[in-house]
Every structure is written in C-alpha cells, then in structure tokens.
Structure 1
Amino acid sequence: MKKSITLFFLVAIISIVSSQSSLDRQKATVQKDTLKKSKIAVEQQENKLDSLVISLGKFKIYKKEAHASYYADKFNGRRTTSGRKFDNNKYTAAHKKLPFGTKVKVTNEKNGKSVIVEITDRGPFVKSREIDLSKRAFMDIASNKSSGGILVTIAVLSN
C-alpha cells in the first residue's frame, strides 16, 4: 500500500513538473510571437492612421484620363529635384507643375483602385505622360502588371 501511494505521488509530481515546463515553453513562445506581432501591428496602425487622415481630406479633381507611367529601377537611390532620395518602394510621384509635397490621389480608371502619393520630383519629360509614379504605387493600382502605362484620374488634396 505504501509503495502504491509513493508511486502515485511520484507520478503526480513528475507530471506536474513536466506540464509546468511545457507551459513555460509555450508562454515563452507566445510572448516572443506577441512581441513580433504587436510591433508589426503598431507599424501598420501608424500607417493606417496616416492614410486615414489623408483619405478624410477633400480631393479636387485635377485631370481625368491622364497617362501615368512608373520610374525605372535605375533611378532608385538617386536624388530627386526636391532634394530627397528616390525610393521605388515608397508612394511618391513626379509631376511637371504641381508643387513638391502635394498629396495626390491617383485612381486607375479601369479598375477603380487608387493610391495617395506625394509629389517629390519633376517630370515625366514625355509630352503624352502626365505623371510618373513610383513602381510600388503603380503596381498597387495597375490591373495589368506588365503594362508600362495606364489611364488615371488625378485628384489633388485640398486643405
């Protein structure tokens, strides 16, 4: 009888210790994951707030049926006319006349997708084109990713 009670307690203690250590490992794993997720969530939330503030503004149509193209990869890292370093992964654009820093909503007329970009450069220097978008902005609204140009509506954020 004493052996069975001792054996019972021994098994109980081993199972408690092993379950406790597995719980600790799970907690450590969960904590690591939640830290990564919360950091990403904070960054995404900041981006959403930024775009939410801009999208709540009023946009005045500047031009319909404008031809838009995108920057070639060779311009990545070069200085723009405004003095800022160009990054093809940001939401920026080049326009011939709009002031630097102007927020512009560019909407693809075929599929209705739109992006909000900031004017940071001059161009395009081709008469038929109205605006040059960064590659990321262009690919976000393009329905045919292999095309080099699309027809867009340009609307300027008015204060």
Structure 2
Amino acid sequence: MTAIHLWRGALPALLALACLGPHPALAFEPQRGTASVYDADQFAGRQMANGDRFDPAANHAAHRHLPFGTVVSVTNLRTGASTIVVISDRGPFIPGRIIDLSPRSARAIGMGIGLAPVEIRPLEEVAQAP
C-alpha cells in the first residue's frame, strides 16, 4: 500500500477530529467571554451530560469542549471575584457565551442571575469513570 492510499484512508478520521472542537492541549488555555447562569427552577434535578443530577447549590458548570471533571477557576472581570467549578455538562449553545454556571457559583462571583464577562482558567482534569 502506498503513502497516498494510507493518507486517503486517514483523511475521514482526521476531518472528524477537526470537527470535534479545539485540540485538547489548546482547550486548557485561559478563555474570556460571557458567562450565563442555569435556570435553577427549570434544571434542578435533571440529568446533566455526565450523568449526574443538576443541583443548583453545587459548583456545577457547563462548557462546550472541556472534559467532564475538569476543575476550572472562573473570575468575574467586573468584580474580580473568583470561584472554582467542575465541568459536568455541555453548553452553553448561545454564541458568545463560554460557560454556564450553577446559581451558587454565579452568586460566588457576584453575578446574580444575569450575564457577566469572565475569564475561565482550567486548573486540572479529574479522571471520571466512563
């Protein structure tokens, strides 16, 4: 088999990986954008993407690409307040928003129930069972 045949066979897999989002090594860079808050009334007790139930009083967060179990520092750029959250869900799916926070986490950074400019800084990835 020639190198061209090998390349052609690998091309669909490479394209699929490229569509999954940023390279894992790049996903651990700090990000700036807008944070939003889960609607506690609507999502309390519902299953999140990682299989756990959403608890508005816990430090859950949703991110589109970071692995479940990743510990993230979230800083409100208006107040300077920070909190630590664990990525447990996928989202937000509204352009410009980079993270959804539980109500507890949003209060911890002085965000209330609205939107806020934030910087998120992944601290560590925690291994989770499949």
Q: Same fold (TM over 0.5)?
A: yes
Aligned to 2:19: none
Instruction: Report runs of 4+ in structure 1 exceeding 4 Å deviation.
Output: none
Say if 2:119 is the partner of 1:153: yes
Alignment partner of 1:100 out of 56, 61, 68 = 68
Task: Give the aligned partner of residue 38 of structure 2.
Answer: 71
The yes-or-no answer on 1:110 pairing with 2:78 is: yes
Q: CA deviation at 1:158?
A: 4.0
Matches within 5 A, 1:1-159: 61-64=29-32, 66-73=33-40, 74-142=42-110, 145=112, 148-158=114-124
Structure 1's 119 and 135: CA in aligned 2 closer, same or farther, altered over 3 A? same
| 3-state secondary structure, aligned to 2:85 | strand
Q: State the number of aligned residues.
A: 97
Question: Rg larger in 1 or in 2?
Answer: 1
Task: Report the Cα distance in structure 1 between the residues aligned to 2:115 and 2:29, rounded to whole angstroms.
Answer: 20
Cα displacement (A) at 1:70: 0.5
Structure 1 residues not aligned, in runs of 5+: 1-59
Structure 2: 5+ residue stretches without partners:
1-27, 126-130
Say if 2:72 and 2:124, in contact at 8 Å, map to a contact too: no
Task: Choose between structure 1 and 2 for higher RCO, CA contacts under 8 A separated by at least 6 residues.
Answer: 2
Q: Is the 8 A contact 1:142 1:150 kept in 2?
A: no
Structure whose residues are more often helix by fraction: 1
Query: Aligned residues: percent identity?
Result: 43
What RMSD in Å do the two structures reach over aligned CA positions?
A: 1.5
